[in-house]
Homo-oligomer: A and B are copies of this chain.
Protein backbone atom coordinates (compact mmCIF):
# COMPACT_ATOMS: atom_id res chain seq x y z
CA UNK A 1 0.00 0.00 0.00
CA UNK A 2 0.97 3.56 -0.83
CA UNK A 3 3.59 4.99 1.51
CA UNK A 4 2.61 8.05 3.55
CA UNK A 5 4.96 9.56 6.11
CA UNK A 6 3.96 12.24 8.57
CA UNK A 7 7.01 14.52 8.77
CA UNK A 8 5.94 17.24 11.24
CA UNK A 9 3.14 17.71 13.71
CA UNK A 10 2.09 21.13 14.87
CA UNK A 11 2.02 21.29 18.67
CA UNK A 12 -1.01 23.49 19.17
CA UNK A 13 -3.28 22.21 16.40
CA UNK A 14 -3.89 18.84 14.74
CA UNK A 15 -2.06 19.98 11.60
CA UNK A 16 0.67 17.84 10.13
CA UNK A 17 2.98 17.81 7.16
CA UNK A 18 3.65 14.63 5.26
CA UNK A 19 4.94 12.98 2.15
CA UNK A 20 2.67 10.88 0.00
CA UNK A 21 4.61 8.53 -2.29
CA UNK A 22 2.98 7.87 -5.66
CA UNK A 23 4.34 6.13 -8.73
CA UNK A 24 4.40 9.60 -10.32
CA UNK A 25 6.29 11.41 -7.61
CA UNK A 26 6.16 12.38 -3.97
CA UNK A 27 3.40 14.78 -2.90
CA UNK A 28 4.22 17.11 -0.02
CA UNK A 29 1.14 17.47 2.17
CA UNK A 30 -0.98 19.37 3.04
CA UNK A 31 -1.62 19.92 -0.65
CA UNK A 32 -4.30 21.44 -2.83
CA UNK A 33 -5.15 19.59 -6.06
CA UNK A 34 -6.21 21.75 -9.03
CA UNK A 35 -9.31 20.35 -10.73
CA UNK A 36 -8.80 19.10 -14.28
CA UNK A 37 -12.33 17.91 -15.03
CA UNK A 38 -11.93 16.74 -18.62
CA UNK A 39 -8.22 15.86 -18.33
CA UNK A 40 -7.32 19.55 -18.55
CA UNK A 41 -7.21 22.21 -15.86
CA UNK A 42 -9.26 24.74 -17.77
CA UNK A 43 -7.24 27.49 -19.51
CA UNK A 44 -3.88 26.06 -18.37
CA UNK A 45 -1.21 24.18 -20.27
CA UNK A 46 0.47 21.30 -18.49
CA UNK A 47 3.68 23.38 -18.67
CA UNK A 48 1.97 26.20 -16.78
CA UNK A 49 0.67 23.75 -14.17
CA UNK A 50 4.16 22.34 -13.70
CA UNK A 51 5.60 25.81 -13.22
CA UNK A 52 3.25 26.51 -10.29
CA UNK A 53 4.52 23.86 -9.36
CA UNK A 54 1.47 21.55 -9.27
CA UNK A 55 2.47 17.93 -8.72
CA UNK A 56 -0.97 16.38 -8.32
CA UNK A 57 -4.23 17.22 -10.06
CA UNK A 58 -7.74 15.81 -9.94
CA UNK A 59 -9.70 14.54 -12.93
CA UNK A 60 -13.41 13.73 -13.02
CA UNK A 61 -14.39 10.15 -13.73
CA UNK A 62 -17.94 11.09 -14.67
CA UNK A 63 -16.78 13.49 -17.41
CA UNK A 64 -14.05 11.24 -18.77
CA UNK A 65 -16.37 8.23 -18.78
CA UNK A 66 -18.74 10.16 -21.07
CA UNK A 67 -16.01 11.84 -23.13
CA UNK A 68 -13.64 10.58 -24.50
CA UNK A 69 -14.60 7.34 -22.70
CA UNK A 70 -12.40 5.34 -20.36
CA UNK A 71 -11.63 2.72 -23.00
CA UNK A 72 -10.26 5.41 -25.31
CA UNK A 73 -8.09 6.71 -22.47
CA UNK A 74 -6.94 3.16 -21.67
CA UNK A 75 -6.10 2.55 -25.36
CA UNK A 76 -4.00 5.72 -25.32
CA UNK A 77 -1.97 4.49 -22.34
CA UNK A 78 -4.01 5.88 -19.45
CA UNK A 79 -4.61 9.42 -18.22
CA UNK A 80 -0.95 10.32 -17.67
CA UNK A 81 -0.02 9.50 -21.25
CA UNK A 82 -3.30 10.82 -22.66
CA UNK A 83 -2.91 14.30 -21.19
CA UNK A 84 0.89 14.15 -21.01
CA UNK A 85 1.01 14.71 -17.27
CA UNK A 86 3.94 12.86 -15.68
CA UNK A 87 2.94 13.79 -12.12
CA UNK A 88 0.25 12.39 -9.85
CA UNK A 89 -3.45 12.24 -10.69
CA UNK A 90 -6.43 11.52 -8.46
CA UNK A 91 -9.77 10.60 -10.01
CA UNK A 92 -13.03 11.00 -8.14
CA UNK A 93 -15.70 8.32 -8.43
CA UNK A 94 -18.46 10.36 -9.99
CA UNK A 95 -20.59 10.40 -6.83
CA UNK A 96 -20.50 14.16 -6.49
CA UNK A 97 -21.33 14.84 -10.15
CA UNK A 98 -24.25 12.45 -9.91
CA UNK A 99 -25.57 14.39 -6.90
CA UNK A 100 -25.19 17.74 -8.67
CA UNK A 101 -27.47 16.58 -11.48
CA UNK A 102 -30.17 15.01 -9.38
CA UNK A 103 -32.94 15.42 -11.98
CA UNK A 104 -30.96 13.15 -14.27
CA UNK A 105 -30.17 10.56 -11.60
CA UNK A 106 -31.70 7.58 -9.85
CA UNK A 107 -29.91 5.87 -6.98
CA UNK A 108 -30.64 2.18 -6.35
CA UNK A 109 -29.13 -0.32 -3.93
CA UNK A 110 -26.99 -1.58 -6.75
CA UNK A 111 -25.63 1.70 -8.06
CA UNK A 112 -26.60 4.88 -9.90
CA UNK A 113 -28.60 5.37 -13.07
CA UNK A 114 -28.00 8.70 -14.73
CA UNK A 115 -28.44 10.54 -17.98
CA UNK A 116 -25.51 12.14 -19.73
CA UNK A 117 -25.56 15.95 -19.54
CA UNK A 118 -24.08 15.84 -23.06
CA UNK A 119 -26.59 13.81 -25.04
CA UNK A 120 -29.16 12.47 -22.57
CA UNK A 121 -27.95 8.90 -23.03
CA UNK A 122 -28.69 6.58 -20.08
CA UNK A 123 -25.89 4.98 -18.06
CA UNK A 124 -25.49 2.85 -14.97
CA UNK A 125 -22.55 3.00 -12.64
CA UNK A 126 -22.16 0.45 -9.86
CA UNK A 127 -19.40 0.53 -7.25
CA UNK A 128 -17.62 -2.12 -9.32
CA UNK A 129 -18.09 -0.19 -12.55
CA UNK A 130 -16.68 2.99 -10.93
CA UNK A 131 -13.57 1.00 -10.04
CA UNK A 132 -13.29 -0.43 -13.54
CA UNK A 133 -13.63 2.94 -15.19
CA UNK A 134 -10.99 4.46 -12.94
CA UNK A 135 -8.74 1.44 -13.41
CA UNK A 136 -8.91 2.07 -17.15
CA UNK A 137 -8.12 5.75 -16.62
CA UNK A 138 -5.12 4.69 -14.56
CA UNK A 139 -4.70 7.50 -12.02
CA UNK A 140 -2.45 7.27 -8.96
CA UNK A 141 -5.36 7.47 -6.56
CA UNK A 142 -8.94 6.50 -7.17
CA UNK A 143 -12.05 6.86 -5.05
CA UNK A 144 -14.86 4.48 -4.11
CA UNK A 145 -18.33 5.32 -5.41
CA UNK A 146 -20.27 7.09 -2.65
CA UNK A 147 -23.73 8.55 -2.33
CA UNK A 148 -23.17 12.24 -1.88
CA UNK A 149 -26.19 14.02 -0.38
CA UNK A 150 -26.97 17.70 -0.75
CA UNK A 151 -27.73 19.98 2.18
CA UNK A 152 -30.20 20.06 3.83
CA UNK A 153 -31.18 16.38 3.85
CA UNK A 154 -33.52 14.39 6.08
CA UNK A 155 -32.08 12.01 8.65
CA UNK A 156 -33.48 9.17 6.58
CA UNK A 157 -31.74 10.33 3.41
CA UNK A 158 -28.45 10.89 5.21
CA UNK A 159 -28.76 7.59 6.96
CA UNK A 160 -29.36 5.71 3.73
CA UNK A 161 -26.40 7.49 2.13
CA UNK A 162 -24.15 6.37 4.99
CA UNK A 163 -25.37 2.79 4.68
CA UNK A 164 -25.13 2.68 0.87
CA UNK A 165 -21.74 4.39 0.90
CA UNK A 166 -20.39 1.74 3.28
CA UNK A 167 -21.91 -1.13 1.30
CA UNK A 168 -20.58 0.32 -1.96
CA UNK A 169 -17.16 0.87 -0.36
CA UNK A 170 -17.06 -2.80 0.60
CA UNK A 171 -18.01 -3.88 -2.91
CA UNK A 172 -15.55 -1.42 -4.45
CA UNK A 173 -12.73 -2.68 -2.26
CA UNK A 174 -13.50 -6.28 -3.17
CA UNK A 175 -13.62 -5.54 -6.85
CA UNK A 176 -10.45 -3.49 -6.56
CA UNK A 177 -8.76 -6.48 -4.95
CA UNK A 178 -9.79 -8.72 -7.84
CA UNK A 179 -8.49 -6.26 -10.46
CA UNK A 180 -5.25 -5.84 -8.57
CA UNK A 181 -4.74 -9.57 -8.31
CA UNK A 182 -5.33 -10.13 -12.00
CA UNK A 183 -3.01 -7.21 -12.76
CA UNK A 184 -0.24 -8.74 -10.67
CA UNK A 185 -0.90 -12.13 -12.25
CA UNK A 186 -0.64 -10.69 -15.76
CA UNK A 187 2.54 -8.87 -14.76
CA UNK A 188 3.91 -12.17 -13.62
CA UNK A 189 3.01 -13.67 -16.99
CA UNK A 190 4.78 -10.88 -18.80
CA UNK A 191 7.81 -11.18 -16.56
CA UNK A 192 7.83 -14.88 -17.51
CA UNK A 193 7.89 -13.94 -21.19
CA UNK A 194 4.20 -13.92 -22.05
CA UNK A 195 3.00 -11.50 -24.72
CA UNK A 196 1.49 -8.18 -23.75
CA UNK A 197 2.22 -4.48 -23.86
CA UNK A 198 5.30 -3.34 -21.94
CA UNK A 199 4.78 -2.10 -18.40
CA UNK A 200 5.83 1.40 -19.38
CA UNK A 201 2.67 2.03 -21.38
CA UNK A 202 0.28 0.33 -18.95
CA UNK A 203 -1.37 2.38 -16.26
CA UNK A 204 0.20 1.34 -12.98
CA UNK A 205 -2.36 0.00 -10.54
CA UNK A 206 -3.96 2.89 -8.66
CA UNK A 207 -4.37 3.13 -4.88
CA UNK A 208 -7.92 3.23 -3.52
CA UNK A 209 -9.29 5.80 -1.05
CA UNK A 210 -12.55 5.32 0.86
CA UNK A 211 -15.10 8.12 1.29
CA UNK A 212 -16.93 8.97 4.51
CA UNK A 213 -20.43 10.46 4.33
CA UNK A 214 -22.93 11.59 6.99
CA UNK A 215 -23.47 15.24 6.20
CA UNK A 216 -23.18 17.41 9.29
CA UNK A 217 -24.91 14.85 11.51
CA UNK A 218 -22.27 13.98 14.10
CA UNK A 219 -23.61 10.54 14.92
CA UNK A 220 -24.02 9.48 11.29
CA UNK A 221 -20.67 10.95 10.34
CA UNK A 222 -18.96 9.01 13.16
CA UNK A 223 -20.79 5.87 12.14
CA UNK A 224 -19.56 6.35 8.58
CA UNK A 225 -16.00 6.97 9.71
CA UNK A 226 -16.09 3.76 11.72
CA UNK A 227 -17.46 1.73 8.82
CA UNK A 228 -15.07 3.09 6.19
CA UNK A 229 -11.98 3.24 8.38
CA UNK A 230 -12.60 -0.41 9.24
CA UNK A 231 -12.03 -1.40 5.62
CA UNK A 232 -8.36 -0.51 5.41
CA UNK A 233 -8.12 1.89 2.49
CA UNK A 234 -4.91 3.60 1.33
CA UNK A 235 -6.44 6.92 2.34
CA UNK A 236 -9.70 8.41 3.59
CA UNK A 237 -11.84 11.23 2.31
CA UNK A 238 -14.50 13.30 3.97
CA UNK A 239 -17.17 13.68 1.29
CA UNK A 240 -20.58 15.34 1.23
CA UNK A 241 -19.32 18.62 2.65
CA UNK A 242 -19.31 22.12 1.16
CA UNK A 243 -22.69 21.23 -0.35
CA UNK A 244 -24.65 24.13 1.16
CA UNK A 245 -24.12 23.81 4.93
CA UNK A 246 -22.96 26.77 7.05
CA UNK A 247 -19.23 27.34 7.36
CA UNK A 248 -19.35 26.57 11.12
CA UNK A 249 -21.06 23.24 10.43
CA UNK A 250 -18.34 22.36 7.91
CA UNK A 251 -15.57 23.22 10.36
CA UNK A 252 -17.26 21.41 13.26
CA UNK A 253 -17.75 18.30 11.16
CA UNK A 254 -14.13 18.27 10.06
CA UNK A 255 -12.97 18.96 13.61
CA UNK A 256 -15.03 16.07 14.89
CA UNK A 257 -14.43 13.53 12.13
CA UNK A 258 -10.83 14.11 10.99
CA UNK A 259 -9.17 12.88 14.20
CA UNK A 260 -11.19 9.68 14.02
CA UNK A 261 -9.63 8.79 10.67
CA UNK A 262 -6.54 6.56 10.79
CA UNK A 263 -3.58 8.69 11.85
CA UNK A 264 -1.10 6.96 9.54
CA UNK A 265 -3.13 7.40 6.35
CA UNK A 266 -3.71 10.56 4.24
CA UNK A 267 -6.95 12.46 4.84
CA UNK A 268 -8.65 14.19 1.95
CA UNK A 269 -11.39 16.80 2.32
CA UNK A 270 -13.34 16.72 -0.95
CA UNK A 271 -14.48 19.87 -2.72
CA UNK A 272 -13.23 22.35 -0.10
CA UNK A 273 -12.72 25.31 -0.28
CA UNK A 274 -11.72 28.94 0.18
CA UNK A 275 -8.16 29.86 1.19
CA UNK A 276 -9.44 30.30 4.78
CA UNK A 277 -11.04 26.83 4.61
CA UNK A 278 -7.68 25.35 3.66
CA UNK A 279 -6.04 26.88 6.74
CA UNK A 280 -8.89 25.94 9.08
CA UNK A 281 -9.12 22.36 7.87
CA UNK A 282 -5.38 21.75 7.58
CA UNK A 283 -5.34 22.74 11.27
CA UNK A 284 -7.68 19.79 11.85
CA UNK A 285 -5.26 17.38 10.21
CA UNK A 286 -6.50 17.36 6.61
CA UNK A 287 -3.76 16.46 4.10
CA UNK A 288 -5.40 16.83 0.70
CA UNK A 289 -7.88 19.30 -0.77
CA UNK A 290 -9.52 19.95 -4.11
CA UNK A 291 -11.95 22.62 -5.22
CA UNK A 292 -13.10 24.30 -8.44
CA UNK A 293 -13.12 27.69 -6.68
CA UNK A 294 -9.73 29.05 -7.83
CA UNK A 295 -10.22 27.95 -11.44
CA UNK A 296 -13.95 28.68 -11.81
CA UNK A 297 -13.72 32.05 -10.03
CA UNK A 298 -10.81 32.97 -12.27
CA UNK A 299 -12.86 32.37 -15.40
CA UNK A 300 -15.57 34.58 -13.92
CA UNK A 301 -13.09 37.41 -13.39
CA UNK A 302 -12.72 36.95 -9.64
CA UNK A 303 -9.19 36.63 -8.24
CA UNK A 304 -7.76 35.96 -4.80
CA UNK A 305 -5.28 38.41 -3.29
CA UNK A 306 -3.50 38.97 0.02
CA UNK A 307 -6.19 41.61 0.66
CA UNK A 308 -9.11 39.33 -0.17
CA UNK A 309 -11.11 38.72 -3.34
CA UNK A 310 -10.97 41.18 -6.21
CA UNK A 311 -13.32 41.27 -9.20
CA UNK A 312 -10.63 42.14 -11.70
CA UNK A 313 -13.07 42.35 -14.59
CA UNK A 314 -14.70 45.36 -12.93
CA UNK A 315 -14.68 48.74 -14.70
CA UNK A 316 -12.91 50.32 -11.72
CA UNK A 317 -9.70 48.58 -12.76
CA UNK A 318 -9.77 49.88 -16.36
CA UNK A 319 -6.80 52.19 -15.71
CA UNK A 320 -5.21 50.36 -12.80
CA UNK A 321 -1.59 49.64 -13.75
CA UNK A 322 -0.95 47.57 -10.61
CA UNK A 323 -0.73 43.78 -10.77
CA UNK A 324 -3.64 41.69 -9.42
CA UNK A 325 -1.81 41.45 -6.09
CA UNK A 326 1.26 43.63 -5.46
CA UNK A 327 2.30 41.11 -2.78
CA UNK A 328 2.23 38.19 -5.22
CA UNK A 329 5.28 36.82 -7.01
CA UNK A 330 3.52 34.74 -9.65
CA UNK A 331 4.37 35.19 -13.34
CA UNK A 332 1.05 36.90 -13.95
CA UNK A 333 1.60 39.50 -11.22
CA UNK A 334 5.19 40.04 -12.34
CA UNK A 335 4.10 40.97 -15.87
CA UNK A 336 0.44 41.93 -16.33
CA UNK A 337 -1.68 44.77 -14.97
CA UNK A 338 -5.23 44.79 -13.66
CA UNK A 339 -6.07 47.20 -16.49
CA UNK A 340 -4.85 44.74 -19.12
CA UNK A 341 -6.58 41.74 -17.54
CA UNK A 342 -9.75 43.79 -17.16
CA UNK A 343 -9.53 44.68 -20.86
CA UNK A 344 -9.13 40.99 -21.74
CA UNK A 345 -12.26 40.09 -19.76
CA UNK A 346 -14.21 42.98 -21.29
CA UNK A 347 -13.13 41.80 -24.76
CA UNK A 348 -13.95 38.14 -24.12
CA UNK A 349 -10.35 37.14 -24.77
CA UNK A 350 -9.16 33.68 -23.68
CA UNK A 351 -6.00 35.10 -22.18
CA UNK A 352 -8.18 36.61 -19.43
CA UNK A 353 -9.04 33.15 -18.12
CA UNK A 354 -5.46 31.93 -18.46
CA UNK A 355 -3.96 34.81 -16.49
CA UNK A 356 -6.62 34.80 -13.76
CA UNK A 357 -6.44 31.00 -13.40
CA UNK A 358 -2.65 30.93 -13.22
CA UNK A 359 -2.72 33.60 -10.54
CA UNK A 360 -5.47 31.94 -8.49
CA UNK A 361 -3.79 28.53 -8.60
CA UNK A 362 -0.52 30.15 -7.56
CA UNK A 363 -2.37 31.81 -4.69
CA UNK A 364 -3.80 28.45 -3.58
CA UNK A 365 -0.50 26.61 -3.80
CA UNK A 366 1.15 29.53 -2.03
CA UNK A 367 -1.45 29.19 0.73
CA UNK A 368 -0.43 25.53 1.04
CA UNK A 369 3.23 26.57 1.28
CA UNK A 370 2.34 29.00 4.07
CA UNK A 371 0.45 26.27 5.89
CA UNK A 372 3.35 23.86 5.49
CA UNK A 373 5.82 26.44 6.80
CA UNK A 374 3.55 27.26 9.74
CA UNK A 375 3.31 23.57 10.64
CA UNK A 376 7.05 23.06 10.29
CA UNK A 377 7.75 26.07 12.51
CA UNK A 378 4.99 25.27 15.00
CA UNK A 379 3.05 28.46 14.26
CA UNK A 380 -0.07 26.98 12.70
CA UNK A 381 -2.23 28.42 15.48
CA UNK A 382 -1.04 31.93 14.59
CA UNK A 383 -1.89 31.34 10.95
CA UNK A 384 -5.40 30.22 11.89
CA UNK A 385 -5.80 33.30 14.08
CA UNK A 386 -4.54 35.56 11.30
CA UNK A 387 -7.00 34.05 8.83
CA UNK A 388 -9.90 34.49 11.29
CA UNK A 389 -8.93 38.09 12.02
CA UNK A 390 -8.71 38.84 8.32
CA UNK A 391 -12.11 37.28 7.55
Contacts and interface: CB of A to CB of B under 8 A. Distances in A.
Interface of A: 38-40, 42-47, 67-68, 72, 75-77, 81-84, 318-319, 321, 331, 335-337, 339-340, 343-344, 346-347, 349-351, 353-355
Contacts of A83: 340
Contact of A343 (B67, B77, B340, B350): B67
A40 B349 contact: yes
A297 to B, nearest CB: 16
A339 B82 CA distance: 8
Contacts of A339: 68, 72, 76, 82
Nearest to A332: B45
B39 A343 contact: yes
Q: Which 7 A-B pairs have the closest CB atoms?
A: A38-B347, A40-B351, A43-B350, A68-B343, A84-B335, A40-B349, A350-B350
A84 B353 contact: no
B44 A351 contact: yes
A350 B354 contact: yes
* Interface-centre pick from A40, A42, A83 (highest chain B CB count, 10 A): A40
A358 to B, nearest CB: 8
A40 B84 contact: no
A39 B355 CA distance: 14
B67 A335 contact: no
A75 B321 CA distance: 10
14 contacts: A40-B344, A44-B351, A45-B355, A47-B335, A72-B339, A76-B319, A76-B321, A76-B337, A82-B337, A82-B340, A83-B340, A84-B335, A350-B353, A350-B354
Contacts of A349: 38, 40, 42
A148 B237 CA distance: 64
Given A47-B331, A68-B343, A350-B354, A321 B77 contact: yes
Q: Which of A44, A84, A346, A351 has the most CB of B within 10 A?
A: A351
A68 B346 contact: yes
B347 A84 contact: no
B351 A43 contact: yes
Contact of A84 (B44, B84, B318, B340): B340
A318 B72 CA distance: 8
A42 B76 CA distance: 30
Given A67-B347, A75-B319, A84-B337, 4 more contacts: A76-B321, A76-B339, A77-B321, A84-B336
A318 B346 CA distance: 35
Contacts of A335: 46-47, 84
A102 to B, nearest CB: 23
A353 B354 CA distance: 12
A347 B355 CA distance: 21
Nearest to A299: B350
Contacts of A75: 319
Nearest to A82: B340
Contacts of A331: 47
Contacts of A347: 38, 40, 67
A321 B72 CA distance: 11
B45 A354 contact: yes
B355 A67 contact: no
Contacts of A72: 318-319, 339
Nearest to A77: B321
A38 B343 contact: yes
Contacts of A343: 38-39, 67-68, 82
